[in-house]
Amino acid sequence: MGALLVDTGHRNRVGEFRGVSGPYWSLRPVCGGTEWEAEPAKVRAPEPMERLRAETARCNARSAGRIL
């Protein structure tokens, strides 16, 4: 699992860091889905509540069988 980050350029969307793609960072939704590109200058570390929400959402999706 990559580090959790918040993309402020996409309505504070929380994603998992997947790698670098040219001048952008690739982030993936914590519950699975299509990766998106974020500008590094618009990415920040999540606050404790944002991290908790993302980890809880991932656990719920996993227990429901929506992600591995």
Domain ranges of the chain: 4-63
Band of residue 66 on the pLDDT scale cut at 50, 70, 90: confident
Task: Phi first, then psi: give them for residue 5, nearest 5 degrees.
Answer: -140, 160
How is the chain split among helix, strand and coil, in percent rounded to 5?
30, 35, 30
What pLDDT digit, counting tens, does each position of 5-59 carry?
Answer: 999 999 999 999 999 999 999 999 999 899 999 999 999 999 999 999 999 999 9
Does the pTM surpass 0.75? The reply is yes
pLDDT of residue 47: 98
**What secondary structure does DSSP assign to 20-51, as a single string?**
EETTEEEEEETTS---EEE-GGGEEPPPHHHH
Give 21: exposed, middle or buried? Use CB within 10 Å, 0-12, 13-18, 19+: exposed
Q: pLDDT value at position 2?
A: 86
